[in-house]
Amino acid sequence: VMDRAKEAIRDNLKGKRKLYMPIWKIIDERWFGQLHCLLHATAYYLNPAIRFLPTFKNDREVEYDMLDCIDGLKIDYTEQDVVHMSINIYGTCYGNMGRDTTIRCRTPLHLGIRKLDFILSTFR
């Protein structure tokens, strides 16, 4: 997502490195300093409103971060193995993830989370 945003900035500034590089630096500092963490990558990868869009890009770095997050869980190896196998099932929409109801709820769930986040942000 960040790569596409940076490319759009570069394109809007007609590829003039002197103009877009300071902006890229700010984005990189924010992204790597705050957002680029194992838990964020895992949430992105497992969010059904994003994961099952035709435009979803299965980025290796995001996938590795998610797997590192799972490996870091304080659970035994057997449970970690179950989680890893479940991710494969999740990605193929097998079982409950392939139900019509589950498929229909992907986007509304995402919208509901955004609304809830907005409501909660008013109390901060």
64-117 confidence digits (pLDDT tens): 988 898 888 888 888 888 888 888 777 777 666 667 776 776 665 555 555 555
For the chain, how many structural domains are there in total? 2
Same domain, 76 and 18: no
44 and 20 within one domain: no
User: 63 and 99: one domain?
Assistant: yes
- Which residue range forms the structural domain that includes residue 94? 37-124
Q: What is the largest CA-CA distance in the chain?
A: 52
Q: What percent of the chain has pLDDT over 90?
A: 15
Task: Answer yes or no: do 20 and 59 share one domain.
Answer: no
Q: Which residues contact 63 (CB under 8 A, 6 or more apart)?
A: 45
Q: Which residue has the higher pLDDT, 5 or 53?
A: 5
Instruction: Specify the pLDDT at position 88.
Output: 79
Query: Do 76 and 112 reside in the same domain of the chain?
Result: yes
> What is the value of pTM for the model shown?
0.54
Q: Please state the rounded mean pLDDT for residues 8-32.
A: 90
Under a CB-based contact definition with an 8 Å cutoff, are residues 1 and 55 in contact?
Answer: no
The answer on 47 and 94 residing in a single domain is yes
Structure token digits, residue 79:
């449970």
Q: Residue range 54-69: average pLDDT? A: 85
